[in-house]
Amino acid sequence: MTTQPYRLARGGRIDRAKRLRFSFNDRAYEGYRGDTLASALLANGVVLVGRGFKYHRPRGIMTAGSEEPNAIVQLGVGDRTEPNIRATQVELYDGLSAASINCWPSVEFDLGAVNGMMSRLFPAGFYYKTFMWPPSFWMKYEYFIRRMAGLGKAPDAPDPDRYDKTFAHCDVLVVGAGPAGLAAALAAGRAGARVILADEQAEPGGSLLASGETINGQPAAEWIAAALAELASMPDARVLARTTAFSYGDHNYVQMVERVADHLPPASSPGPRQRLWRVRAGQVVLAAGAIERPLVFADNDRPGIMLASAAATYVRRYAAAPGRRVLVFANNDGAYRDALALLDAGIGISAIVDPRPDPGAAIVAEIRRRGIEVLAGHVVAGTKGHGRVESAQVMKLDGDKVAGAARSIGCDAIAMSGGWNPTVHLFSQSGGKLRFDAARATFLPGAPVQAIRVAGAANGATSLQDCLREGHAAGAASAADAGAAGKAGDAPQAEPATPDEPAMPIWIVPSVKPVGEGGKHFIDHQNDVTAADLQLAVREGYSSVEHLKRYTTMGMGTDQGKTSNVNALALLAVTLGHEVGAVGTTTFRPPYTPVTVGAFAGHDQGDLLDPVRKTPLHGWHEIMGAPFENVGQWRRAWYYPKPGEDMHAAVGREAKAVRTGVGIVDASTLGKIDIQGPDAVELLNWVYTNAWNKLEIGRCRYGLMLGEDGMVMDDGVTTRLGENHYLMTTTTGNAARVLGWLENWLQCEWPHMRVYCTSVTEQWATVALNGPLARRLLAELTTDIELDPAKFPFLSFREGRVAAIPARIYRISFTGELSYEINVAPSHAVALWQALMAAGEKYAIVPYGTETMHVLRAEKGYIIVGQETDGTVTPHDLGMDWIVSKAKKDFIGKRSLARADTSRPDRKHLMGLLAENPSEVLPEGGQVVAEVKDRPPMAMIGHVTSSYFSPNAGRSIAMALIKNGRNRMGETVHVPAGERVIRATVTEPKFFDPEGKRLDG
Amino acid sequence: MLLIPCPYCGPREEVEFACGGEAHIARPANSDRLSDAQWSDYLFMRKNPKGVHYERWNHARGCRRWFNVARDTVTHRIYAVYKMGEAPPSVTP
Ligand SMILES: [Zn+2]
């Protein structure tokens, strides 16, 4: 166990009484409660925490917040391990274990660093230029790219943690609990608004947590505590720490992720690990603060180089020294205050390097008074160091070049600042446009599109007083707009600050050599994109920001370019000779920071992912050992294997039994729609292709339903139960869609029709008897229904009792055999089934599943909508002209059948295909070609829609949609199947009992 | 995600609804007398405006009623909802 050599003796918001052990790259360390992993590593003097993505150069901690591009780690072990986590956001807990990524085999000795020596091989667009051809090499490329690039490892076991989801509503949502956000929440809450205040950090306060300023005469920390106490006392104000608002959608829909237990050891808390908040906010106050800009100078990526505000944050909030001799390189006065914070903590400042020729603010004078050298009109033209920065090469700035001799200044850290970028991500996501502010040299929120106000540093404010004032005003105005009538009180007051002198934008810091030669000017530290890469891309013609981004991968890392985008946009503009800001910005997309997939899934996983629908007979199928097939949300019994049988054997036995004796199948999943009303028949005439006027009470008719485009949408049998009463059946998967279709037409097009449609799918269980012995079996169980085919013909319906159970019996057939579909109340389904099985024993009754059902219907050439059809198939294509009425003036889809394309004679037709080898089963979905070539492409003339081995035909059978198929009868076609090509003959799509003689048994 | 004020139920989340596309497209009577071009205009051609769009929505996971919405396709602001059969309100963005 090492001590903490860089821990300051006093100060910080850490709890020195709570020591926490942790490991990084398998080495043990100690930190304190209140540390982040980053601050604890710094306190332990660990500055080399990872490697660059492309060149594998050593990298350290660059920021103290969610914008961190460098210090991303693999966190945790086993099934809880998580890649690409920002060490700056990880709260330390006892036993934490983390490791570097992008390193192979280790962070100190990394083979990939050789990439740095061969960097000419990695220019802008290197993915596009290098990994192009041949395609078969991609597998090899990928292996090495993944290995070298690292980017962490996903766990390979299921996530053991639980996640939660919450919907919430509020009058005012305040994003960010820094000075502006706290002031806004206080104002809105005092006015009586329902408030949610969310902040991504472990505790509210934002920049105040590392501030020496006072508010209302109190030290910042005391004011924060008072503000939180006041919010807690309000009846409807909720403060959410560790909660990132990551997405801003339409109608003020803001999604946030709360890291409920990530700061605790794994599995140590009973609640969820994270919670997804879906907030519908009346008004939003965005007080998300600002992110400091790095300076783009040569070799600005060495460990120890960090943002000036981060250096001050580590010192003030965490009592961790980023170094012992820190050089400050900044173009603005704010960094001088950071330098002062370091000095006050006893940290040495080697020098302050400022490109401004004559900085003269009071803070500069104070720094000089404390004996610190200020090198005005100078820049850092390069850095040196192994594993950690050791010196800066400081030179005089002369226009856009450096002049004179370089002075090497020793340092073990560089605190840099190029100004500030307001965190406008959510504002941009809300639809608001950004405008470039030349004075601040950054993008600020423009006019809002939704009910959002931006306050504080996110709005470009720089002084604490401005942040408090803007936050208070935004909170008060939002509350008023949300209808809260109370008084917002007074804005909190900070001490008046002397105004800063303007910063001096410097988008690329010159070096001795031209950019791209010698050192590297990194812009995007996470994706290793340099200024030279951007300039090369511009020379190659990429002048649009969106193209440039994709070509160079700038801003495309997990940090989404939080520290790099504005620098890149400015450099692009400068290179193109435009005004900075004229090239616009890339799109800000959610999420603001990466969100665990588990948070989105919440409880909707495993058995809870999707509702499962089971028929009333499900339990019986289970007992019989049937495997189940998913049909939409339904589970359907697939086949009933006897001991030793595989699917092929079981289906062969079941299919033969149906055609020689009697089979029983659970058809309860079929969609059923009860249609009643005087205009019911008119509705049927509109939605089906055939005519319904003459259907008598007690009779059934098959119908084909088309979309208005003339394509087959559904099919099923509809029965006339009474004068104005029909029962429509639909395919299992389409039941909801067909009901919606009917309602759509009735409500929107024909509101005059007096028709009611009700789904009764689950009100009836359906048991179908099929086979020549079906009538004999049924006769044993019913006394009040005449089964004589003359009295109860095919396509008719009777009501009566079966096994003493009230039943509706339909004589319809999906097998071509004598068939009775018996419908009973679901509560009677098992009794009915058992009665039929018992009575059927002497007839060797066989239960069969969906696979046999499919084989039997295919033997007859009956279609399944969604298998033989795919939304591009007309009745004519299916050879079903017989069901399309010529007499009806109109029906849905009729006109489309006469369009030039739908009436072409050479469309794809549904045909039979018989493989030359009768034992060979064609692959379903297999492409049909007329002419075989050595390799693709080959002209495709169709595809196999259904294919089975038919036990009753004694051979393989298939149906296929084949171009101009009816004129290819008897032709040989080919179906490539992997290495083989199967030859097959085009036939009629009927393989058994083509004359249909078996329907009456 | 939109917050859609169903005229029958009140404001509900978009996940409860299904969008039916452009509103006020009456199915042509005498479709048999239409040319292919006229029929395909009904079948395929939609306005797709940048700005106010009158469209049909169905509260599919609620009351199952269809109704009309005047929505801005750029800002997604909903200016009005009105029942089937009612004339579209004039909207000035
Ligand atoms: Zn509704």
Q: What is the pLDDT along chain B (93 residues), one digit of tens a residue?
A: 999 999 999 999 999 999 999 999 999 999 999 999 999 999 999 999 999 999 999 999 999 999 999 999 998 999 999 999 999 999 887
- Section A83-111 average pLDDT: 84
Distance from CA of B23 to the nearest CA of A (A): 9
Please say if the pLDDT value at position A465 is more than 70. Answer: yes
Q: B13 alpha carbon to ligand 1 midpoint, in Å?
A: 11
Contact B20 A748 (CB under 8 A): yes
Q: Which residue of A280, A751, A895 is in closest CB contact with B85?
A: A751
Q: A707 alpha carbon to ligand 1 midpoint, in Å?
A: 26
Q: Contact, A355 vs A269, CB < 8 A?
A: no
pLDDT of A102: 67
Fold of A15-149: Ubiquitin-like (UB roll) (3.10.20)
User: pLDDT (tens digit, 9 = 90+) per residue, A433-458?
Assistant: 999 999 889 999 999 999 999 999 99
Helix axes A850-860, A647-660, angle to 10 degrees: 60
Contact B3 A280 (CB under 8 A): yes
Q: Hey, is the C-beta of A604 within 8 angstroms of any chain B C-beta? A: no
The CATH class given to the A671-763 domain equals alpha beta
Q: Hey, is the C-beta of A885 within 8 angstroms of any chain B C-beta? A: no
Q: How far is CA A691 from the centre of its chain?
A: 47
Say how far apart CA A664 and CA A650 lie, in whole Å: 14
Q: A686 alpha carbon to ligand 1 midpoint, in Å?
A: 27
The verdict on residue B93 lying in a domain is: no
The verdict on residue B44 lying in a domain is: yes
The residue type of A121 is: L
Q: B8 alpha carbon to ligand 1 midpoint, in Å?
A: 5
Q: Hey, is the C-beta of A251 within 8 angstroms of any chain B C-beta? A: yes
Q: Contact, A558 vs A592, CB < 8 A?
A: no
Contact A744 B27 (CB under 8 A): no
Q: Which residue has the tokens 């947590």?
A: A209
Q: Which residue of A250, A709, A748 is in closest CB contact with B43?
A: A709
Edge to edge, what strands does the sheet with B18-22 contain?
B18-22, B52-58, B66-72, B78-83
pLDDT of A518: 83
Q: Report the residue of chain B nearest A249, measured CA to CA.
A: B1
- CATH 3.50.50.60 domain locations along chain A: 164-290+422-481, 322-416
Contact B64 A895 (CB under 8 A): no
A901 contacts in B (CB within 8 Å)?
A: none
Q: Which residue of A253, A747, A896 is in closest CB contact with B65?
A: A747
- Section A705-726 average pLDDT: 98
In eight-state DSSP terms, residue B26 is: P
Fold of A164-290+422-481: FAD/NAD(P)-binding domain (3.50.50)
For chain B, helix, strand, coil in percent to 5 are 15, 35, 50
Say how far apart CA B19 and CA B9 lie, in whole Å: 17
pLDDT of A587: 82
Range of the domain at B65: 3-27+37-83
Quote the number of domains for chain B: 1
DSSP secondary structure string for all residues of A581-604:
TTT--PPP-S-SS---HHHHHTT-
| DSSP bridge partners of A943 | A927, A961
The verdict on residue B90 lying in a domain is: no
Q: Contact, B32 vs A895, CB < 8 A?
A: yes
Contact B66 A894 (CB under 8 A): no
**Average pLDDT in chain A:** 94
- Reported as type and span, the H/E element at residue A397 is strand A391-398
Long-range contacts of A839-843 (CB under 8 A, 24+ apart): A839/A777, A839/A780, A839/A781, A839/A803, A840/A662, A840/A664, A840/A777, A843/A661, A843/A662, A843/A773, A843/A776, A843/A777
Distance from CA of B82 to the nearest CA of A (A): 13
Q: B67 alpha carbon to ligand 1 midpoint, in Å?
A: 9
The verdict on residue B67 lying in a domain is: yes
CATH number of the domain residue B51 falls in: 3.30.2270.10
A708 contacts in B (CB within 8 Å)?
A: 27, 43
- Section A995-1000 average pLDDT: 92
- Section A842-852 average pLDDT: 98
Q: Which residue has the tokens 């083989």?
A: A980
A749 contacts in B (CB within 8 Å)?
A: 26-27
CATH superfamily for A622-666+764-856 is Probable tRNA modification gtpase trme; domain 1 (3.30.1360.120)
The verdict on residue B92 lying in a domain is: no
pLDDT of A121: 56
The ipTM (two decimal places) reads: 0.98
Phi, psi of A157 (to 5 degrees): -120, 160
Instruction: Select A506-579's CATH number: 1.10.10.1100, 3.40.50.720, 3.30.110.70, 1.10.540.10.
Output: 1.10.10.1100
The reported pTM is 0.90
Contact A251 B85 (CB under 8 A): no
Say how far apart CA A593 and CA A323 lie, in whole Å: 28
For chain A, helix, strand, coil in percent to 5 are 25, 30, 45
Q: A860 alpha carbon to ligand 1 midpoint, in Å?
A: 45
Map residue A968 onto helix, strand or coil: coil
Please say if the pLDDT value at position A627 is more than 90. Answer: yes
Say how far apart CA A24 and CA A872 lie, in whole Å: 59
pLDDT of A935: 77
The verdict on residue B57 lying in a domain is: yes
Architecture of domain A905-1001: Beta Barrel (2.40)
Phi, psi of A845 (to 5 degrees): -60, 140
- Section A352-371 average pLDDT: 96
Please say if the pLDDT value at position A507 is more than 90. Answer: yes
Say how far apart CA A44 and CA B84 lie, in whole Å: 70
Give the pairing of strands A378-384 and A391-398.
antiparallel
